[in-house]
Structure 1
Amino acid sequence: MGALVSLLPARATVAVVLGLMALSLDTRQILRAFARPTPVALALVISFGILPFAGWALGNWLLQEDLRIGLQVATSVPCTMAAAIIWTRMGGGNEAVALLITLLTSGLSWMTTTAWLTCTTAAEVKLDAGELMLTLVLTLIVPVGLGQLLRAPASLRGLADRWKPALSVLAQLLVLVIILQAVVLASRSVGSSLQAQLGQLALVSALCLAIHLLGLGAGYYGGFVLGLPADERIAAAIAGSQKTLPVSLVLITSYFSAFPLAVVPILVYHIGQLVLDSLVIECWARQRGAG
């Protein structure tokens, strides 16, 4: 299976996934979300401020530099695109706000992710900031821009809307391939020394879950302090705390290949956010029902 999933290069796969997702995004929803900037700003502070800072601060508890780097990468990348919108919808949140958050984090990542990684991993690896920025632009901004550009003609927009379910399924299948790539890399990295590394692996797993919960709480309760309605708090909480595994994997394989265990935190964070968010939105749904 490892040889099979390795046939698809990570960068190209991520670019195709983002292009397909952008092709199916309704631009009118994005424009409507600009009228509600507060939850978007809150999510950006969480995604590119609170979470990467927590990854750096709590990463000092880890003895292995591989795991420290992996945790920093996992917390410094932009928001997921499909998952954040789906989970926001499931939780009764504002999808338009979640959509704008995902697009803005992707659009700003070339600058913010580069800044965090060059500052926090300088002791372990020398990063070329310009090259890293270019990688993020080509992987994130160009595919999303092309996807939205293809929607400009009415005929193509109608075709994309009619085929939206198929495009979403194809994108999710490619995401599954990326997840399998991460699983294969993680299994190779851990290898036969699992028992010796068990304590550190357990610790980094706990840190991933704690940081994600921190982001969820900051979005939901921070939004409450700011006077946001429940649907916008949910969007800020989910889109502000979720992180994209595909982009993390691109960065790990392209710039941190000398640290094989770095793939473990990005995989744990991704799986953890899906499980935790599923549980949390159930609680929110029960609260709304009780209210």
Structure 2
Amino acid sequence: MNPLAALWLCWVITAFSPIIGKYAMPVAHPVLVVFSGSILAVIYFAPAMTKKKLWGKLFDKKTLGLYLVMGTFGTALPFSIMLFALNYTTPANAAILNQTEIIYSLILTSILLKERPSLGQLGGSFLVILGVAAILLNEHFTPRWKGDLIIIGSVWLFQISHIAAKKLPEGLDYTLISAARSFWALPATIILILFMWPTGTLYFKPGFQAAAVIGATGIFKYGIAMLLWYTAIRNLDLSKVTAIILSYPALSFILSVLLGFEKPQTYQIIGLVLTFAGAYWVTHVVKKQNAKKENLESIEETI
């Protein structure tokens, strides 16, 4: 598939994700959705994994720990928490507030890598904070507010997964990475299920809606979208890829309104614009910094 077409299709699937999650909540507990979706994703990747003889590499001692971190912090925990949040907030808010991951990225980079954020990064982060504040202040003490806070408090988990992913050896097959993330999400979800089982909080209502949301989660979100994403970032400029994918909350917002999950509010539109502008600003600054770093490295190599 054309890389740009792959990116836009991934964008559409990503925008539908909070919508799918909203439909899932009446029929299945969040942990069961993630567990079932992960199993379905592994089944989806099975033919390619078998053809390429990659199953054994899921248990390679050099990467197993990293895969486990990616599966736990990139799939099992954050998606379970965010699905739970959709019991309270709307798909549009969930998509918009996900942009706060940019802020967590800067904080963790500063703490773990001792890198000071630039003025541009701080400026972009400030816009994201303003966008988030525009939503939170207008929904203070409403049912949505609880869900909004849960979203904001959980997106940092993705950064732990990203850090682990960056430590993977170069040249790994992307089918392997995608399958490993779903496969190694299973231990954490199984532990959560065993922990919750005695409490009686787990629920599942068999039927078309349950089958549809689990199918969409496993095949499209955890399966196809992952391969489309890697196809895009392998063949396109990373800043272009990031700029396009960061705009997905706009489609999530439109879909949420059209499907009757909410009535558009001015403060939501303001929050959407501010968070996107801030996230794009940070991405643009990072691109310039990386380009400058690459130029310096190339100069040093010639000396």
- TM-score between both structures, scaled by the size of structure 2: 0.31
Higher relative contact order (CA 8 A, sep 6+): 2
**Structure of larger gyration radius:** 2
- TM-score between both structures, scaled by the size of structure 1: 0.32
